[in-house]
Structure 1
Amino acid sequence: MEQYTVEQVAGLLGLHVKTVRNYVRDGRLPAVRVGKRYLIAKEDLAAFTGLPVAGPDRPRRAEVSAIAQVDGVSRSEMDRVSTMVLGSLSGRSSGLRVEFAYDAEREHLKIIVLGGLEETAQVLRIIDALVRP
């Protein structure tokens, strides 16, 4: 059974150590006292936060939200870029989400990319190659 110290929990949650100790003392966060230290079980921390805790059996996943803004884009260029970007994603189960917002009056294109770090970086490289003069 994996356990965390109060200091480790504070670091994981971005809280002050005293705040975590108060949660333990108030009974809101179950813990076992060992000498002068409290140990919090991984399962108890997950129940307290409502989120699974990253650990050796659960790898971390980092995600990114990126917005690429391109000015001076005609409607036909926007169609080409959106078709090429979406075409590069077809057939992959990458978990990426890509959306396009185009203002024809201002010739302004925004491309919103949500997903994993490497997958998003690949899409941004494709966008860069397509819009580069």
Structure 2
Amino acid sequence: MNPYHFYQGYVPQQTDYYMNYQYNPYQPQYQQDQLQQDQLDPDRQPFQFQSLERRINQLERQNEQQSREINRQNQEIRNLRRELNQTNQEVTRLNQVVERHTRRLNRLNQRLRAVENRLNIPFTAEDGF
């Protein structure tokens, strides 16, 4: 008799735990606390959350870029309005100058006709005055 039971051919009974365990790789095996932890950890979030976060970041960058573009265009509009106001002021000034010169030219033409009448110079339309 062997007191240590070596080489007796005795095999202890093993349960078929691993044989009965069915693993589905497409079904998550989360515990509730692990699920809460995964919601806080960005590296362990499901793909949908990560893709949504990437999309949000992309939209935020586009929003900032569009905001900068709008600010640039608003600045350009302000510059164009300022330039338009300056041009309008210059046009008004030139119109006033033209009006003054027109009045002066009319006075000179009246004086010229008076001189022509005194000197008996006949006035013709072809003279260009």
Band of TM-score, shorter chain: under 0.3
Whichever structure has more strand as a proportion of its residues is 1
TM-score of the pair, normalised by structure 1: 0.22
Whichever structure has more helix as a proportion of its residues is 2
